[in-house]
Amino acid sequence: MKSNTLAALAVVSTPQQVHYNTEAIQAMDTAHYLHPFTNFKALANRGAQVIVEAQDIYLWDSQGKRILDGMAGLWCVNVGYGRKSISDAVYTQMQQLPFYNSFFNTTNIPAVELAKALVEISPPQFKHVFFTGSGSEANDTNLRMVRRYWDLLGYSERHVIISRHNAYHGSTVAGASLGGMSAMHAQGSLPIPGIVHIGQPYYLEGGKGLTQDEFGLKAASWLEDKILEVGADQVAAFIAEPLQGAGGVIIPPATYWPEIQRICSKYDILLIVDEVICGFGRVGCWFGSEHFEIKADLMTFAKGVTSGYLPLGGVMVGDKVAQVLIEKGGDFNHGFTYSGHPVACAAALENIRILREEKIIEQVRDETGPYLKQGFDSLLDHPLVGMVDTCGFLAALVLVKEKAENIFDMQMFPKDLGVGQICRDHMFKHGMIMRAVGNRMIVSPPLTMTIAQIDEMIALIRFCLDETLADLQQRNYL
Ligand X SMILES: *Cc1c(COP(=O)(O)O)cnc(C)c1O
Site string for ligand X, 17-56 (x = CB under 6 A): ----------------------------------------
What residues from 310 to 339 belong to the interface with ligand X (CB under 6 A)? 313
Q: Does 245 bind ligand X (CB under 6 A)?
A: yes
What residues from 64 to 83 belong to the interface with ligand X (CB under 6 A)? 75
Could you check whether the bond before residue 446 is cis, i.e. omega within 30 degrees of 0? Answer: no
Stretch that binds ligand X, among 88-96, 272-280, 382-390, 464-472 (CB under 6 A): 272-280
Stretch that binds ligand X, among 128-136, 182-190, 220-228, 412-420 (CB under 6 A): 128-136
Which of residues 246 and 271 has its CB atom nearest to ligand X in the complex?
A: 246
Closest approach, Cβ 21 to ligand X, in A, equals: 31
Of residues 62, 134, 166, 444, which one binds ligand X by CB under 6 A?
134
What's the 3-state SS for the chain?
A: CCECCCCCCCCCCCCCCCECCHHHHHHHHHHHCCCCCCCHHHHHHHCCCCEEEEEECEEEECCCCEEEECCHHHHCCCCCECCHHHHHHHHHHHHHCCCCCCCCCCCCHHHHHHHHHHHHHCCCCEEEEEEECCHHHHHHHHHHHHHHHHHHCCCCCCCEEEEECCCCCCCCHHHHHHCCCHHHHCCCCCCCCCEEEECCCCHHHHCCCCCHHHHHHHHHHHHHHHHHHHCHHHEEEEEECCCECCCCCECCCCCHHHHHHHHHHHCCCEEEEECCCCCCCCCCCCCHHHHHCCCCCEEEECHHHCCCCCCCEEEEEEHHHHHHHHHHCCCCCCCCCCCCCHHHHHHHHHHHHHHHHCCHHHHHHHHHHHHHHHHHHHHHHCCCEEEEEEECCEEEEEECCECCCCHHHCECCCHHHCHHHHHHHHHHHCCEECEEECCEEEECCCCCCCHHHHHHHHHHHHHHHHHHHHHHHHCCCC
Q: Does 446 bind ligand X (CB under 6 A)?
A: no
Of residues 246, 269, 315, 449, which one binds ligand X by CB under 6 A?
246
What residues from 286 to 305 belong to the interface with ligand X (CB under 6 A)? 302-303
Which of residues 264 and 312 has its CB atom nearest to ligand X in the complex?
A: 312
Of residues 73, 123, 135, 191, which one binds ligand X by CB under 6 A?
135
Of residues 59, 118, 160, 277, which one binds ligand X by CB under 6 A?
277
Which of residues 142 and 390 has its CB atom nearest to ligand X in the complex?
A: 142
Size of the site for ligand X (CB under 6 A): 17
Closest approach, Cβ 185 to ligand X, in A, equals: 16
Of residues 61, 241, 259, 297, which one binds ligand X by CB under 6 A?
241
Closest approach, Cβ 135 to ligand X, in A, equals: 2
Which of residues 288 and 318 has its CB atom nearest to ligand X in the complex?
A: 288
Stretch that binds ligand X, among 101-109, 163-171, 380-388, 446-454 (CB under 6 A): 163-171
Which of residues 21 and 139 has its CB atom nearest to ligand X in the complex?
A: 139
Q: Does 274 bind ligand X (CB under 6 A)?
A: yes
Of residues 14, 26, 108, 136, which one binds ligand X by CB under 6 A?
136
What residues from 454 to 473 belong to the interface with ligand X (CB under 6 A)? none
Q: How wide is the angle at C-alpha 31 spanned by C-alphas 7 and 24, nearest 5°?
A: 15
298 alpha-carbon distance from chain centroid = 17
Q: Which amino acid is at 216?
A: G
Site string for ligand X, 165-204 (x = CB under 6 A): ---xxx----------------------------------
Give the residue at shortest CB distance from ligand X.
135
Q: Where do contacts with ligand X occur on this chain (CB under 6 A)?
A: 75, 134-136, 139, 168-170, 241, 245-246, 274, 276-277, 302-303, 313
